[in-house]
Amino acid sequence: MTRVFTRRHWIMYGGGLRFAALLGVTFGSIAGGVLLEPPLVGALFGAASTTIDICTMMALIGGAEVFAPRTRLGRTLARWPFSVELVTKVVAYMAVVVAVIGTRLGPKVAASAVNPDLARSLLAQIESAYPRNLAIILSGLITVLMVMLGQAARLVGDRTQRAIALGRYREPRPEERFFLFVDIVGSTPVAERLGPVALHRYLDKVFDAASDPIDDWYGDVYQYVGDEIVVTWTLEEGRPDARPLGCLFAIKEALEQAAPDFQREFGTAPKLRAALHAGEVVTGETGGSRRAIVFRGDVLNTTARLEDATRELSRPYLVSDDALRRMDDARAYSPEDLGLHQLRGREAPVRIYAVQRNS
């Protein structure tokens, strides 16, 4: 139903490999220059061997973390209890650590580039200064920490986790954002015919199908509310290529492609209603034992009222003038001016457009 690889996955994977290479060169050259003799050769040897080790582990472990969740095996693992999934990953990734660090892969490959006498000397110094068991333990602890952080990111979202870790919204700040409300049409009949458990499966499959388009178009899922997805972008993230509109129609296309699967399992295929609006909100952290990043402002209320208007105006996809004029390069879409409308709860009327993607 969903693709294994998306642009965002490749960007994340490439970024991880670049970070691993930078970390390997920096740490390895410093450690090698301090611990090995002669210092200059030790720095070069340390940089090469550490980079090989870290990049190899990143390629395998990072690749599994980024790509495996989109595979059948990854989805099966995700259905297991959190603790079981965590232990399974730790065991598998520790096997990678032992295979790379325990065999001294990096130092052996780096040593192959120098003369045999110097190679033996450098390898002996490595064993003396950085015993194999210590290297495995330290690398294993770092791996376990990264896995736990990765599991936590799945619960709150990687961008939210990063923003909380960096304290970006520790103090509330105003910022301009796009908000896309995507409502799943047809979920009520599924609940009436098949019951709440089937409804949960139905919506879970819909949200799963929508996840790749959201990733592809750089959106951030703010929350799932009943049978609705709320996706957001900062102005800088959403402006290029009219990304919020690209996301909406990519979700529509993904669900159309998955329609036969939904028909077979649930006897119906999902359709969408959606509303897009933009404006200033105040973004900040909130909560005690569970921290979250929330958005406060009239923009969300207006987007909700705009989504209500899709029923009143019998148009499935509505965009406010505030959102449309904030996006660049929206030539792939055809907006139809529906004029000014007084939305419930707003004093000033809002200019609304019905939008479709060009053929």
What does the pLDDT look like over 121-157, one tens digit per residue? Answer: 999 999 888 888 888 888 888 888 887 777 666 666 6
The Cα 145–Cα 172 span in angstroms is: 29
pTM passes above 0.85? no
Q: What is the pLDDT of residue 155?
A: 63
Written as one string, the DSSP assignment of 135-166 is HHHHHHHHHHHHHHHHHHHHHH-HHHHHHHHH
Written as one string, the DSSP assignment of 19-52 is HHHHHHHHHHHHHHHHHSSSHHHHHHHHHHHHHH
Residues forming a β-bridge with 221: 231
Q: How confident is the model at residue 192 (pLDDT cuts 50, 70, 90)?
A: confident
Over residues 154-167, mean pLDDT: 70
Residues forming a β-bridge with 296: 282
The alpha carbon dihedral of 114, 117, 120, 124 has a sign of negative
Nearest to 100 by CA among 63, 58, 66: 58
Instruction: Please name each of the domains of the chain with its CATH number.
Output: 7-156 (no CATH), 169-357 (3.30.70.1230)
pLDDT at 2 over 50: no
Residues in the chain: 359
pLDDT tens string 79-125: 788 788 888 888 999 999 999 999 999 999 999 988 999 999 999 99
pLDDT at 228 over 80: yes
The alpha carbon dihedral of 78, 83, 88, 90 has a sign of positive
Q: How confident is the model at residue 166 (pLDDT cuts 50, 70, 90)?
A: confident
104: left (phi over 0), alpha (psi -120 to 50) or beta: left
Q: pLDDT higher for 193 or 160?
A: 193
Read off the DSSP letter of residue 60.
Answer: I
The pairing of beta strand 350-357 with beta strand 333-341? antiparallel
Contact of 295 with 251, CB cutoff 8 Å: no
Distances (CA, A) of 110 to 39, 41, 50, 130, 349: 16, 11, 9, 16, 68
The Cα 218–Cα 304 span in angstroms is: 22
Q: How far apart are the first and last CA of the chain?
A: 24
pLDDT at 321 over 70: yes
Q: How confident is the model at residue 214 (pLDDT cuts 50, 70, 90)?
A: very high
SS3 141: helix
Choice among 6-10, 195-199, 222-226, 291-295 with the minimum mean pLDDT: 6-10
Q: pLDDT higher for 139 or 357?
A: 357
The Cα 260–Cα 264 span in angstroms is: 6
Neighbours of 58 (CB within 10 A): 21
Written as one string, the DSSP assignment of 46-59 is HHHHHHHHHHHHII
Residues forming a β-bridge with 228: 183, 225
Q: pLDDT higher for 315 or 132?
A: 315
Pair of tokens at residue 245: 């509109």
The chain-wide mean pLDDT, for the chain, equals 89
Nearest to 93 by CA among 132, 144, 53: 144
Over residues 60-79, mean pLDDT: 82
pLDDT at 292 over 90: no
